[in-house]
């Protein structure tokens, strides 16, 4: 069976070989890809499970559409346009009680970052939407900016962006008389930041707004409190994160489950991408992958 390569979508699945190896895939196993994106990891899982089944989730309907087309060469999968927190509902509908492995590859894809209409990137001017799910009735990043006080914005930039200049940037945003779009945000950050730190600061502020807009840490927390119920004994959990707070949450949950003798932690230290992978795909450089196996 031939499938379309990830590179032809301008997207490199991060730590692909390592994540697939660590899922320890069984040919007749059931697997969950909680963050399908364009299907980079899902394709590989499907190539290994001729007699098994894959459920894939993504909050982004555009990504789901592309992934569906791409995975069409297989017939043993179901994609769900929803958060990976909807495990229970999806498993019930498919009459699946527990699965052999789960993968989360958190954050956003290059496909989303490079969309010049959605406001994820400081490189394109557009309104600051930043919602993964454009059908979502939650606030856009722009509305969050408008509705937040200087103090609230400072907290967002501190907490989700770990940005030292949070207060000064938040104050300058709230003092601006113009509506904030991507270009205006970039120009405010530039005024507040020394030249050599600008690119990093743009990334941190945009990342903070995206994480807040999509309540990403709440989704992760809810998943971490829930996933063990849906994992078979000896089933594997693999989580790739790109933000220190996400990695910390995964690390602490795995530690707690280990102390309760529920999970064997297979990543004493997180796996990180090789130098070659970082060279080929700069966006992989902050990735950390943690792996566990359910005891039982």
Ligand X SMILES: C[S@@+](CC[C@H](N)C(=O)[O-])C[C@H]1O[C@@H](n2cnc3c(N)ncnc32)[C@H](O)[C@@H]1O
Q: Give the footprint of ligand X on this chain (CB under 6 A).
A: 11, 13, 34-35, 37-41, 57-60, 63, 83-84, 105, 107-109, 132, 216, 219
Q: How far is the CB of 177 from ligand X (least distance, A)?
A: 34
Nearer to ligand X, 83 or 154 (CB): 83
Q: Locate 130 and state its tokens.
A: 């930043």
Determine the straight-line distance between the first and last CA of the chain, rounded to whole angstroms: 35
Nearer to ligand X, 87 or 173 (CB): 87
Burial of 162 per CB tally in 10 Å (0-12, 13-18, 19+): middle
Backbone phi, then psi, for 19, in 5-degree steps?
-70, -40
Q: How far is the CB of 187 from ligand X (least distance, A)?
A: 28
State the Cα–Cα distance between residues 23 and 45, nearest whole angstrom. Answer: 9
Q: How far is the CB of 242 from ligand X (least distance, A)?
A: 8
Q: How far is the CB of 84 from ligand X (least distance, A)?
A: 4
Nearer to ligand X, 80 or 186 (CB): 80
State the Cα–Cα distance between residues 133 and 227, nearest whole angstrom. Answer: 22
Q: Locate 71 and state its tokens.
A: 């995975």
Nearer to ligand X, 7 or 183 (CB): 7
Burial of 88 per CB tally in 10 Å (0-12, 13-18, 19+): exposed
State the Cα–Cα distance between residues 119 and 258, nearest whole angstrom. Answer: 40
Q: How far is the CB of 40 from ligand X (least distance, A)?
A: 2
Nearer to ligand X, 43 or 186 (CB): 43
């Amino acid at each position: 069976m031939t499938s379309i390569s990830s590179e032809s979508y301008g997207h490199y699945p991060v730590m692909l070989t390592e994540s697939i190896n660590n899922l320890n895939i069984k040919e007749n196993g059931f697997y969950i890809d909680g963050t399908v994106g364009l299907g980079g990891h899902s394709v590989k899982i499907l190539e290994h499970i001729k007699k098994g089944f894959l459920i894939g989730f993504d909050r982004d309907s555009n990504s789901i559409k592309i992934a569906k087309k791409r995975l069409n060469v297989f017939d043993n999968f179901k994609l769900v346009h929803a958060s990976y927190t909807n495990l229970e509902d999806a498993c019930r509908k498919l009459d699946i009680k527990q699965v052999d492995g789960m993968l989360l590859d958190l954050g956003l894809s290059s496909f989303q970052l490079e969309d010049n209409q959605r406001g994820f990137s400081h490189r394109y001017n557009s309104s600051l939407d930043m919602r993964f799910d454009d059908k979502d009735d939650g606030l856009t990043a722009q509305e969050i900016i408008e509705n937040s006080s200087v103090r609230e914005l400072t907290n967002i930039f501190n907490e989700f962006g770990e940005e030292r200049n949070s207060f000064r940037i938040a104050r300058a945003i709230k003092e601006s008389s113009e509506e904030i779009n991507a270009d205006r945000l970039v120009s405010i950050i530039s005024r507040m930041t020394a030249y050599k730190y600008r690119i990093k600061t743009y990334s941190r502020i945009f990342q903070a707004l995206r994480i807040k807009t999509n309540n990403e840490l709440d989704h992760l927390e809810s998943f971490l409190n829930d996933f063990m119920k849906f994992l078979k004994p000896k089933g594997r959990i693999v989580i790739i994160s790109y933000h220190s707070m996400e990695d910390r949450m995964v690390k602490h949950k795995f530690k707690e489950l280990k102390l309760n003798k529920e999970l064997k932690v297979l990543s004493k230290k997180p796996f990180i991408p090789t130098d070659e992978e970082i060279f080929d795909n700069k966006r992989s450089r902050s990735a950390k992958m943690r792996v566990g196996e359910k005891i039982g």
